[in-house]
A and B are shown apart, each in its own frame.
Chain A
Amino acid sequence: MTGEFRKWPEFSWLSDTDTWKSAEKITAGIDIGTTSSQAAVFADDELFGYASIHTGADFTLAANTVIAKALASSALSVGDIGTIAATGFGRRNVLYATKTQDEISCIAKGARFIYGPAVTTVLDMGGQTTKAILLHEWDRVREFEVSDKCATGMGRHIETAAEILRVPLTEMGDRSLETENDPEPVSTTCFNFAYSEMMSLFREGYKEDMYKENEVIASYLFAVAWRILGTVGKLAPLDIGDIKIKEVLGFTGGLAKNKGITKRIERELNITAIEGKHDPQLAAAIGAALLA
């Protein structure tokens, strides 16, 4: 395994203004996930900078790197930031954080920032867990569900699948949608079974037929989407009163960028998710910064 196919691009952004100098309050949110880590910095509730990196084996190192990347060339240093909230699987490793915050509130807050007040259902799909959150009015969490243990680690497994199939992770989604008829999903009971079944499809051999390769990816990603739908299904009936799920579903987390998953979820739920103004992977970090 070379790690060349599972890599997704790291990114960062920094405001070219120096509004932080006159800002009354500077806050930061750090989300250390099992697979990726994000940092978001706000100056008076205005997004100032952010970064997203691979977590790797050392969570503390990831926490230090991600904030350095977000602040990048600005004159701002960690010491200038008033409050720093840490969230995510590895939040205890953010040694410079002033507080820790649970993921659910962070995602809810971040999703509202990214998708605006219209969003009522948030589906957060990350490397480790899937969370479905039903929002109530402004930022209130009405209800949430977390994926069960057998659906754990989907994001990470997709990275491994990319390595086995030797298809770049960033192309998997698009390629899975290039099939004429969507194939049946592989096993959806347990994530590991889906995985072995995908390997069996692969085992049958597909010679030079590229189309069939796309079918294997499609079948696999369909199973992933199916498991995520299971988490959504545990939420209370989605059309409650005048809250219509249609047009108000927002995806967050790293898997929100995989069209092979999001398109299948939209198709099964018969809805179209709304477009956000920021990268969906930043949701938890943005939310943490706003709650800090």
Chain B
Amino acid sequence: MITAGVDVGLMNTKIVILRDKEVAAQRTKQSGGGGRGETVKEIWQDALKDAGIKPKDISKVVATGTGKKDVSFADKTVVEAVAAARAARFLYPESTSVVDAGADMTHVVTLGEGNTIREVVMNQKCMNGLGLVIEVMADRLGLTLDEISALAPAQGKTNPVNDGCPVFAELDALGLLNIGVDRREVAGAVTDAVVVRLSSILNDKIRPQKDTTVFIGGLAKNLAVTERLKERSGIHFLIPENAEYGGALGAAVIATDM
């Protein structure tokens, strides 16, 4: 049985094709804008080519993510939290919670028995787009996301920025640049602000299990974020190798039930 999951995010679209519950192909491409539907079709063709199959070979396609309605060929759409929960269960059967943090939204899902969900907590309005905050800052500072990921956990501790509101965080970061603070240190400070927000969703509201919490989404690929978050929250996350494909994988797994 071949199924596919399409996760249309704010910044990137991800596709996973599963053959008998084994990943046959995975693809990602930058998405966004009015042409989002077209981008999805392009990656779809590439992913099919990678897997060496034709569209008719695929039994079901499930879409998720911010732009799930733009997937014209999907048989079903599911919300991000549901896809994240299934991905976590699929990758780590013993997992109890999953954190899905990307460019746009952050979801923390507490898993129930089997494939059920006990609780979903989303980010507060003021910290929408944590991944975007880091992307904008990287663009501004002329650093790549890999360079930010490689920042040592200690960088940015001396000159903090506001961690309550991204608008102020950005303003503070510019203030630091203005007084000649090194741009890597500024990037570290912004990363810390993002970590404080993530940690507040985790520890103030949910208190997930320390050793059975999965972390997926684009931010899970950023070592500067994950290492600092581990340190701050005390949670030893289970991070899959292709964390950014979490949502798409969950959607593909859901498609196998249909």
Query: Separation in Å of the A118 CB from the closest CB of chain B?
Result: 35
B196 within 8 A of A: no
Q: A92: which of B129, B138, B139, B178 is its contact (CB, 8 Å)?
A: B178
Query: Separation in Å of the A7 CB from the closest CB of chain B?
Result: 11
Pair B67/A153 contact, Cβ less than 8 Å: no
Which residue of B70, B140, B179 has the most chain A CB atoms within 10 A of its CB atom? B140
Which among B18-26, B51-59, B168-176 touches the partner chain? B168-176
Pair B132/A165 contact, Cβ less than 8 Å: no
Which residue of A6, A150, A192 has the most chain B CB atoms within 10 A of its CB atom? A192
Pair A207/B37 contact, Cβ less than 8 Å: yes
Q: A165: which of B33, B37, B179 is its contact (CB, 8 Å)?
A: B33
Distance A56 CA – B139 CA, assembled complex (angstroms): 9
Pair B183/A153 contact, Cβ less than 8 Å: no
Number of interface residues of A (CB under 8 A): 44
Query: Separation in Å of the B30 CB from the closest CB of chain A?
Result: 7
Query: Separation in Å of the A195 CB from the closest CB of chain B?
Result: 7
Query: Separation in Å of the B198 CB from the closest CB of chain A?
Result: 17
Distance A209 CA – B129 CA, assembled complex (angstroms): 25
B142 within 8 A of A: yes
Interface membership of chain A positions 46-66, coded 1 if the CB is closer than 8 angstroms to chain B and 0 otherwise: 000000000011111000000
Interface membership of chain A positions 81-100, coded 1 if the CB is closer than 8 angstroms to chain B and 0 otherwise: 00000000110110000000
Distance A150 CA – B167 CA, assembled complex (angstroms): 8
A20 within 8 A of B: no
Query: Separation in Å of the A147 CB from the closest CB of chain B?
Result: 12
Query: Separation in Å of the B170 CB from the closest CB of chain A?
Result: 6
Distance A167 CA – B125 CA, assembled complex (angstroms): 25
Whether A166 touches B33, Cβ cut-off 8 Å, given contacts A57-B142, A204-B69, A205-B67, is: yes
Distance A195 CA – B165 CA, assembled complex (angstroms): 12
B142's nearest neighbour on chain A, judged by CB, is: A57
Pair A160/B178 contact, Cβ less than 8 Å: no
Query: Separation in Å of the B130 CB from the closest CB of chain A?
Result: 12
A3 within 8 A of B: yes
Chain B residue numbers with a CB within 8 Å of A206 are 34, 70
Query: Separation in Å of the B101 CB from the closest CB of chain A?
Result: 15
Distance A57 CA – B136 CA, assembled complex (angstroms): 12
Interface membership of chain B positions 61-85, coded 1 if the CB is closer than 8 angstroms to chain A and 0 otherwise: 0000011111010000000000000
Pair B128/A196 contact, Cβ less than 8 Å: yes
Distance A189 CA – B165 CA, assembled complex (angstroms): 14
Interface membership of chain A positions 1-25, coded 1 if the CB is closer than 8 angstroms to chain B and 0 otherwise: 1110010000000000000000000
B114 within 8 A of A: no
Distance A207 CA – B67 CA, assembled complex (angstroms): 9
B214 within 8 A of A: no
Chain B residue numbers with a CB within 8 Å of A34 are 174
Query: Separation in Å of the A5 CB from the closest CB of chain B?
Result: 8
Pair A152/B167 contact, Cβ less than 8 Å: yes
Which of chain B's residues 135-160 have a Cβ closer than 8 Å to chain A?
135-136, 138-142
Pair B140/A57 contact, Cβ less than 8 Å: yes
Which of chain A's residues 201-253 have a Cβ closer than 8 Å to chain B?
202-210, 213
Q: A166: which of B32, B68, B141 is its contact (CB, 8 Å)?
A: B32
A204's nearest neighbour on chain B, judged by CB, is: B69
Q: A193: which of B37, B72, B125, B136 is its contact (CB, 8 Å)?
A: B125
A149 within 8 A of B: yes
B166 within 8 A of A: yes
Interface membership of chain A positions 154-198, coded 1 if the CB is closer than 8 angstroms to chain B and 0 otherwise: 001100100111110000000000000000000000111101100
Distance A229 CA – B132 CA, assembled complex (angstroms): 28
Pair B128/A57 contact, Cβ less than 8 Å: no
Chain A residue numbers with a CB within 8 Å of B251 are none
Pair B11/A1 contact, Cβ less than 8 Å: yes
Distance A77 CA – B186 CA, assembled complex (angstroms): 34
Which residue of A191, A206, A210 has the most chain B CB atoms within 10 A of its CB atom? A206
Query: Separation in Å of the A90 CB from the closest CB of chain B?
Result: 5
The 3 closest A-B pairs by CB, nearest first: A166-B33, A205-B69, A213-B34
CB pairs A–B below 8 angstroms (6 shown): A58-B177, A58-B183, A152-B167, A167-B33, A206-B34, A207-B70
On B, residues with C-beta under 8 Å from A are 10-11, 30, 32-38, 66-70, 72, 104, 125-126, 128-129, 132, 135-136, 138-142, 165-168, 170-171, 174, 177-180, 183, 186
On A, residues with C-beta under 8 Å from B are 1-3, 6, 34, 56-60, 89-90, 92-93, 128, 149-150, 152-153, 156-157, 160, 163-167, 190-193, 195-196, 199, 202-210, 213
Besides the known contacts A89-B174, A160-B136, A199-B104, 17 further A-B residue pairs in the complex with CB atoms under 8 A apart: A1-B138, A1-B139, A6-B139, A59-B177, A149-B168, A157-B167, A163-B139, A164-B33, A166-B32, A191-B167, A192-B128, A193-B125, A196-B125, A202-B66, A204-B69, A205-B69, A209-B34
